[in-house]
Structure 1
Amino acid sequence: MTSAPTTHLLYLHGFRSSPQSTKARQMAQRVRERHPQLHWWCPQLPPSPHEAIELVMRGIAQWPRDTMAVVGSSLGGFYATYVAGMTRCRAVLLNPAVHPARDLAKYIGEQTSWHDPAEHFHFRPEYIDELRALDVGPLARPERAFAVIAKGDELLDWREMSARYPQSRIKLLEGSDHALSDFERHHLDEVMAFIDPA
Structure 2
Amino acid sequence: MTTTHLLYLHGFRSSPQSNKARILADYVGARHSRVRWWCPQLPPSPREAAALIAEGIASWPRQTMAVVGSSLGGYYASWVAQLARCKSVMINPAVNPARDLEKYIGEQSSWHDPAEHFFFRPEYIDELRQLDTRAMTPAAPEMVLIAQGDEVLNWNEMSERYPHALQLVQEGGDHALSNFEEYLDRVDEFLALA
Report the TM-score, using the length of structure 1 for normalisation.
0.95
Deviation at 1:31, TM superposition (A): 1.0
Does 2:48 align with 1:51? Answer: yes
RMSD: 1.2
CA contact (8 A) 2:82 2:139 kept: no
Aligned length: 194
Deviation at 1:176, TM superposition (A): 0.6
Equivalent residue, structure 2, for 1:110: 107
Find 2:11's aligned residue among 1, 10, 14.
14
Equivalent residue, structure 1, for 2:26: 29
Distance 1:94 1:74 in 2: 6
Instruction: Identify unmatched segments of 5+ residues in structure 2.
Output: none
Distance 1:86 1:11 in 2: 15
Report the TM-score, using the length of structure 2 for normalisation.
0.97
Does 2:60 align with 1:63? Answer: yes
Ranges of 4+ aligned residues in structure 1 off by more than 4 Å: none
Equivalent residue, structure 2, for 1:170: 167
Equivalent residue, structure 2, for 1:195: 191
Distance 1:159 1:47 in 2: 27
What is the percentage of aligned positions where both structures have the same residue?
A: 63
CA contact (8 A) 2:85 2:140 kept: no
Does 2:69 align with 1:72? Answer: yes
Quick one: which amino acid aligns to residue 103 of structure 2? K
Deviation at 1:114, TM superposition (A): 0.4
Quick one: which amino acid aligns to residue 84 of structure 1? A
Deviation at 1:141, TM superposition (A): 3.5
Deviation at 1:142, TM superposition (A): 6.1
SS in 2 for 1:179: coil
Report matched runs for 1:112-191 at 5 Å: 112-141=109-138, 144-184=141-181, 186-191=182-187
